[in-house]
Each structure stands twice: as structure tokens, then as C-alpha cells.
A = this chain, B = another copy of it.
Amino acid sequence: MPYFDAASSAPLHPVAREALLASLDEGWADPARLYREGRRGRLLLDAAREAAAEAVGCRPDELVFTPSGTQAVHLGVAGALAARRRVGRRLLHSAVEHSCVLHAAEVHEAAGGTRAELAVDRTGRVAAGDVAAALTPDTALVALQSANHEVGTEQPVEEAAGLCRESGVPLLVDAAQSLPWGPVPGDWSLLAASAHKWGGPPGVGLLVVRKGTRFAPQGPADERESGRSPGFENIPAIVASVASLRALRADAGTATEAARLRQLVNRIRTRVPALVPEVEVVGDPVHRLPHLVTFSCLYVDGETLLHELDRAGFSVSSGSSCTSSTLAPSHVLRAMGVLSEGNVRVSLPYGTKEADVDRFLEVLPGVVRSVRERLGVPSVTAEAPEAGSAAEADEAPRTAAGAGSEDLVVDSLGRRCPIPVIELAKVIGKVPVGGTVTVLSDDEAARQDIPAWCTMREQEYLGERAAERGAAYVVRRRV
């Protein structure tokens, strides 16, 4: 039963398990106490800090353990911003940061700070030049992830760090996704990461604040972890987490495994568009995490797709709105301007078997086909996807009364992703080239997916206008 969602959480590494067991008996006491049980805990904690610092590439006294990667980001953003309050209150971050960064930014904004977003291109990558241009004198902090959690695109962190240093602005790197694969290069100022992404147990994050970086911890005081992370130290889990990170790095294991998984991901990147019609593989093809690939399938309901893949034995994730409770598609896919419907993220854990990837590639086309069939999408082929091929569908779209053949109106109000796009595809062939189709929809995903569909199908997206309910999206037939 292959688990392909390492980017959410990796299974516990066997070395972490062993280390956890051993340290449960040695690391339960308060390391601030001077009796033997406390001293033993302190020794374990100090040793773990040294080893973690070595793996991260920092000094031990620059690194504190937090209860999660989320809290590492929250604490880091708040502490860095507060320390630079007199310089300025502007937080600059990429549009594709993890939600924990965005939520920390919201708190900053609610308290009177300002924020600005760095846009990304269609691969999800920030241009270093944009960072340079955005570094105003009142910028207190820049937050840039090392690699994106949804599409795997690596950011130009090293270059951004250099630019930030030149301007005297600290750079905080959310390294949650990349740290399992190696240290983050460059002269960044703060770094956050999460141990359960690299096979450590839950309950451990880490926050690095490099010497010389001004930092003012926020929230209630607590003397533990240099005053930067409140709460009783979770020594057994910390020891286990660091053991796992060390094990990954030992004997160049990380590099070898990264290369192997990169091959498997390449296979998915190449084969999926050949095997499944109407698919868009998203994310940077070169600057990317070794183990992660994301693609979106037109005319597919993401929740059903994930459910069917689960039934077929594959655990994957999705940034589709139809799999989330928020109804809004992933902000990452939105910022990239790519299709969100039928979105699948595959992230291979260490040790993933080649045969499992091949089996996934065998199973996927049939699963997508069956979901599309259930949604009434006529058969589409990978080899020659043809615009408007859905027009011959039996079920006539609900077109508004009075619409002429030059300009059709499709009423998709009250219908959720992927129905609006399916209905658009069904009728586009009914208007002549140059004619328009207007889709009425109150599904938030349509705003993203109709333009993305136009790009994929080489139709012209004319824009949206407000409607009595939802919005009217206008598409001109070009092919």
C-alpha cells in the first residue's frame, strides 16, 4: 500500500524509532534540574542541538527546538519583525509560502504592520530580481521558502539571501520541505523546519536565528530554549528527530536517494501526460525537490480522484478546492495561474520502490477515466486532445434562453468544480471560431480554472464580469 505523501508527513525513520525508545528512559526529566536525571536530559539535549546544528549548517547556540515547524515559523516571524520594529513594519513574502507563514503575516497586519507579496511565475518560482526591487528601506523581514510544499519548485534562496544581506534585511527561510534533502545554501538569517517531514516523530520543529540577527521573542516569557520557544523540552522526540536527520545525511545517503527519487519523479512527469489525456504537470521542471511532482487533470473532481486512488492503494494529496473544507483552491496554484481541478501531489518518501511508482502509472489512467465517465465527460485521448471534443456529449448544457449561436451562455450556478469547466468544454464547439461562451458560476475555483483551461486549450480568455450571483467568465473560441 504505497504512501506517496511524504510532503505532508513522512513515516517514522527506523533510526528515529530506536533513538526515541532509548531516550524515553533517559530524557523524561527536566533538563534545568541539577540532579542526575536532569543532567542526563541536559546532555542528550545538548548533543542533539550540536548534531542538528551540524546538519543545518549553523552554530548550536543559534538553534532552538520548537514543538512544530508551524510554531518555528510563527515564533521566528514574530520575533524577527518585533526586533526590527523601529526600522520598519513591512513584511515581504512570496505568494506561495506555506499557510503558516501567511497566518503569521495576517497577525502582523492585524497589529498594524504591512505586507507585500512577491509574485511567482507559472512554475511557482520567485525571480530574484523581484526580491531586489521589492526591498524598500522600511522592509523589516523577507520570508521565502526554500522549496514549495505543493509543487516542489525551489526558490532562489541563496541569491535572495545575498540581496537581503546587502540591504541589511533579514531573510527567514521556511525550509520544511527541503531540509530532508540537504542544508539550505546561502547567507540567510533565520530558518524554520519540521522534523516529521524527515522521518522524525511529530512534536519537533527547529528555529535557527543566526548570530547578528536581531531577535525579540514575542508572547509570554519562558527561560527554556534561550527564551525563544516556550514549554517543557520534548527531549525524547528531539533526540529521535536529530538521529533521523543524521541518518539521512550519513554516507551521502541523501544525495543517492535524492538522485534515485528524481528519476522516479521524472518518470511520472513524463509518463502521466502521455498516459492521461488533458493533464497539466505543474511546477518547475528543473529547480525542484527531488521527490515531489504535482499535476492537474481537467474535468476531474479532486476529492473523488483522491478517494479512488486511495481505494487503489495510493495515498496522495491535493491542492484542489474540492478536497478541502475551505472551497477555495490552493493559494499556491492560484498564484501560479495554473489549473487546480483534479490536482494530485505525489511526494515519494525515502525508500519508495520503483515498482510502486510503476504500479501508480498503471492505475492512474483508469482511475481518471472512470471519474470523468461518472461526471459525463466524453472520452478524451492523451495523444490528440481536441478542443471541443466534449461538444458531442448527450446531455445538452443548460444554455440561457435567447443565446444566439455566435455567443452562448452556460449557467453553472450552484455547481461545483469541475462542472463549470466541463460545461464550457461541452459547448465551445457549438460556437463558431470567434464566437464566445460565457460561463455563469459561483464556484470560487472557476475563477482560476476557466483561464487555466483556456491556456491549456489555446482558447482566449476575455475576462470576468460581476453577475447577479457569482461571476460571468467569458471565453472566445480560437481553435
Contact = CB atoms under 8 A, between A and B. Distances in A.
A5 B35 contact: yes
Interface in A286-309: 303, 306-307, 309
Most B-side CB within 10 Å, residue of A10, A237, A306: A237
A11 B35 contact: no
A238 to B, nearest CB: 9
A202 B237 contact: yes
A125 interface: no
Nearest to A314: B35
A374 interface: no
A136 to B, nearest CB: 24
A74 interface: yes
Interface string A22-34: 0011011110011
A12 interface: yes
A458 interface: no
A107 interface: yes
Nearest to A326: B223
**How many copies of this chain does the complex contain?**
2
A429 B33 CA distance: 38
A221 B68 contact: no
Contacts of A8: 29-30, 33
Interface string A233-274: 111110000000000000000000000000000000000000
A35 B220 contact: no
A196 B35 contact: no
Contacts of A1: 36
A341 to B, nearest CB: 17
B107 A219 contact: yes
B219 A306 contact: no
A157 B211 CA distance: 46
Contacts of A234: 67-68, 201-203, 237
B17 A29 contact: no
Interface of A: 1, 3, 5, 8-12, 17, 20-21, 24-25, 27-30, 33-38, 67-71, 74, 100, 103-104, 106-107, 194, 196, 201-203, 205, 219-223, 230-237, 303, 306-307, 309-310, 314-317, 323, 325
15 contacts: A5-B29, A5-B35, A5-B37, A8-B29, A11-B29, A12-B24, A12-B25, A28-B202, A33-B315, A34-B306, A67-B203, A74-B220, A107-B220, A201-B236, A202-B234
